[in-house]
Amino acid sequence: MKTICVELLAFATTLASVINAQQEPMFTQYLDNQIYVNPAFAGCQEYLQITGIHRHQWAGVAGAPRSTTLALHAPLKFEAIGIGLDIMNDQIGPMSRFTGAVDFAYRIHFEDKGKLSFGLKAGIDRYQSNLRAVDRTGQDPNAVNLQGVTSPMFGAGIYYFAPNWFAGASVPRLIGGLKDELGGMDEARHFFMVAGALLPVGKTFQLRPSIQTRMTTGAPISADASLTGIWKSKLWVGLNYRIAESISFLVQCKIIDQLKLGYAFDLSLSQLNVRTVGSHEILLSYGFLREVQGLVSPRYF
Our count of domains for the chain comes to 1
In a domain, 247, yes or no: yes
Summarize pLDDT for 220-243 with one digit per residue, the tens: 889 999 999 999 999 999 999 999
pLDDT at 10: 42
Categorize the per-residue pLDDT at 162 as very low, low, confident or very high, splitting at 50, 70 and 90. Answer: very high
d(CA 148, CA 127): 5
Reported as a single tens digit per residue, the pLDDT across 173-218 is 887 655 555 555 556 788 999 999 999 998 999 999 999 999 987 7
Q: What is the pLDDT, as a whole number, of residue 217?
A: 77
Q: Is the pLDDT of residue 247 over 70?
A: yes
Residues 6+ apart with CB under 8 A from 149: 126, 127, 128, 178, 181
pLDDT band for position 137 (50/70/90)? low
- 178 lies in some domain: yes
Distance separating alpha carbons of residues 128 and 96, to the nearest angstrom: 5
Model confidence at 23, pLDDT cuts 50, 70, 90, reads low
pLDDT above 70 covers a percentage of the chain that reads 79
Is 107 domain-assigned? Answer: yes
pLDDT value of position 149: 81
Integer Cα distance of 133 and 140 in angstroms: 11
Contact 223, 246 (CB under 8 A): no
Task: For residues 184 and 220, give the distance between their C-alpha atoms in angstroms, rounded to a whole number.
Answer: 22
Question: What CATH number is attached to the domain comprising 154?
Answer: 2.40.160.40
What percentage of residues in the chain have a pLDDT greater than 90?
Answer: 54
pLDDT attached to residue 16: 40
Distance from C-alpha of 192 to C-alpha of 222, rounded to nearest angstrom: 10
Evaluated on CA atoms 74, 225, 101, 40, the torsion sign reads: negative
Confidence (pLDDT) at 111: 83
- Res. 33: pLDDT tops 80: yes
Residue 162 in any domain: the answer is yes
Q: What is the dihedral of CA 31, 277, 282, 24, to 10 degrees?
A: -50
More confident residue, 246 or 147: 246
| Cα(171)–Cα(215) distance, integer angstroms | 10
Whether the Cβ atoms of residue 207 and residue 229 lie closer than 8 Å to each other: yes
Are 157 and 41 contacting, i.e. CB atoms less than 8 angstroms apart?
yes
Going by pLDDT thresholds of 50, 70 and 90, the confidence category of residue 48 is very high
The reported pLDDT for the residue numbered 148 is: 72
pLDDT on residue 63: 83
- Kindly report the backbone phi and psi dihedral angles of residue 2, in degrees, each rounded to the nearest multiple of 5, phi listed first: -65, -40
Indicate whether 301 belongs to any domain: no
Assess if residue 33 is contained within a domain.
Answer: yes
Which domain does 106 fall in, by range? 2-296
Length in residues, the chain: 301
The pLDDT score that the predictor gives to residue 255 is 93
Coil, strand or helix at 79: coil
Residue 93 lies in a domain: yes
> Residue 294: pLDDT above 90?
no
Average pLDDT estimate for 134-142: 56
CA angle 132, 136, 142 (to 5 degrees): 45
pLDDT at 292 over 70: no
Condensed to tens digits (0 to 9), the pLDDT of residues 72-121 reads 999 998 779 999 999 999 998 778 889 999 999 999 999 878 999 999 99
The reported pLDDT for the residue numbered 85 is 97
